[in-house]
């Protein structure tokens, strides 16, 4: 993989950082286009971006350090300032709070702006996950299939020892700890699925619907995508049988999305002039 793109002395530009920046830029561009389509001030996209960046990064990192509190207690600085360790659901919560603050600050309709933001969220997530792949973070369980990819320089490397100790994955005792194993590239699974979600939302964005319908659809699809991919992930938080914490949150989001979709579908189509 390519965790570092450029290093000058102590200054390092990581692939993860670059892709995170591109993810926010992609979301900004998509939101700006939709604001223009709705005859809204396109500069508001900058406010949305700022709220998403600040809130998303803080939320993602806080969720990560709390989820891994045992490792955080041992090395709090290392966990807080590591190049990886940004959990999507933490980023979703933090980013959502940041965006809501900006929307309320400008006194705009929260429901209508949620529809504007939805396609950008899907595209930003797809681009961001490319960064996870390049840095070797958030990969899956070992596999002998053709899709398997080893991460010798991953965060952490996909060695038998790391998979056993850090992720609780069952690896045969005959395999030495130092052996680098091929694993499911779950980051690429999410890239592909999120791009498909973005394309669908982008196609549907101008259809006359009740305000909030497009965001509800994104919530449903994003929850279903994460629920599916988690079955392949190398995770140590399967507290509820085979389900991870992320999957439980996904189920809750899917249920919420179904309720919202039913309400917005029953509420009638929105004014097509606003679409």
Q: What digits encode the pLDDT tens for the residues 230-266?
A: 999 988 766 666 788 888 889 999 999 999 999 887 6
Average pLDDT over residues 172-179: 93
Three-state SS at 198: helix
More confident residue, 261 or 61: 261
- CA 3, CA 188: separation in Å to the nearest integer? 16
Please check the confidence at residue 11 and state whether its pLDDT lies above 90. Answer: no
Q: Which token pair is 2? A: 């390519």
Nearest to 155 by CA among 81, 237, 82, 48: 82
pLDDT band at 274 (very low <50, low <70, confident <90, very high): very low
Which residues pair with residue 180 across a beta bridge? 159
Average pLDDT over residues 41-48: 87
pLDDT, position 271: 46
- DSSP-assigned letters across all residues of 10-42: TEEEEHHHHHHHHHHHHHHHHHHHHHHHTT--T
98 exposure class (CB count in 10 Å sphere: 0-12, 13-18, 19+): buried
Please check the confidence at residue 157 and state whether its pLDDT lies above 70. Answer: yes
Q: What values do phi and psi take at 75, rounded to 5?
A: -140, 75
pLDDT, position 272: 41
Please check the confidence at residue 275 and state whether its pLDDT lies above 70. Answer: no
Average pLDDT over residues 54-83: 72
pTM for this prediction: 0.84
- CA 186, CA 114: separation in Å to the nearest integer? 28
pLDDT, position 239: 64
Which range has the worst mean pLDDT, 38-47, 170-179, 184-193, 194-203? Answer: 38-47
pLDDT band at 200 (very low <50, low <70, confident <90, very high): very high
Q: What digits encode the pLDDT tens for the residues 216-239?
A: 999 999 999 999 999 999 887 666
pLDDT, position 57: 79
Say if residues 178 and 126 touch (Cβ distance below 8 Å).
no
Average pLDDT over residues 148-164: 92
What are the distances in angstroms from CA 18 to CA 24, 119, 151, 195? 10, 21, 19, 19
Would you report the helix, strand and coil content of the chain in percent, each value rounded to 5? 65, 5, 30
């Amino acid at each position: 993989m390519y965790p570092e793109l450029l290093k000058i002395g102590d200054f390092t530009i990581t692939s993860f950082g670059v892709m995170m920046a591109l993810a926010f830029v992609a979301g900004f561009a998509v939101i700006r286009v939709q604001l223009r389509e709705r005859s809204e001030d396109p500069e508001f996209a900058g406010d949305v971006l700022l709220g998403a960046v600040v809130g998303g990064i803080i939320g993602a990192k806080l969720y990560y350090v709390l989820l891994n509190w045992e490792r955080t207690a041992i090395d709090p600085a290392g966990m807080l300032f590591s190049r990886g360790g940004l959990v999507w659901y933490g980023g979703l919560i933090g980013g959502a709070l940041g965006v809501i603050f900006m929307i309320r600050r400008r006194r705009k309709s929260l429901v209508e702006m949620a529809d504007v933001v939805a396609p950008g969220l899907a595209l930003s997530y797809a681009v961001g996950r490319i960064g996870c792949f390049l840095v070797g973070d958030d990969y899956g369980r070992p596999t002998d299939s053709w899709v398997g990819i080893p991460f010798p320089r991953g965060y952490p490397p996909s060695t038998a020892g790391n998979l056993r100790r850090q992720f609780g994955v069952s690896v045969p005792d005959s395999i030495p700890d130092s052996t680098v194993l091929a694993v499911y590239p779950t980051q690429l699974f999410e890239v592909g699925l999120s791009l498909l979600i973005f394309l669908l939302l982008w196609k549907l964005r101008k259809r006359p619907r009740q305000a909030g319908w497009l965001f509800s659809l994104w919530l449903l699809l994003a929850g279903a995508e994460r629920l599916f991919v988690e079955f392949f992930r190398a995770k140590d938080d399967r507290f509820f049988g085979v389900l991870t914490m992320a999957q439980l949150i996904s189920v809750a989001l899917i249920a919420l999305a179904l309720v919202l979709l039913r309400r917005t579908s029953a509420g009638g189509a929105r004014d097509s002039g606003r679409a």
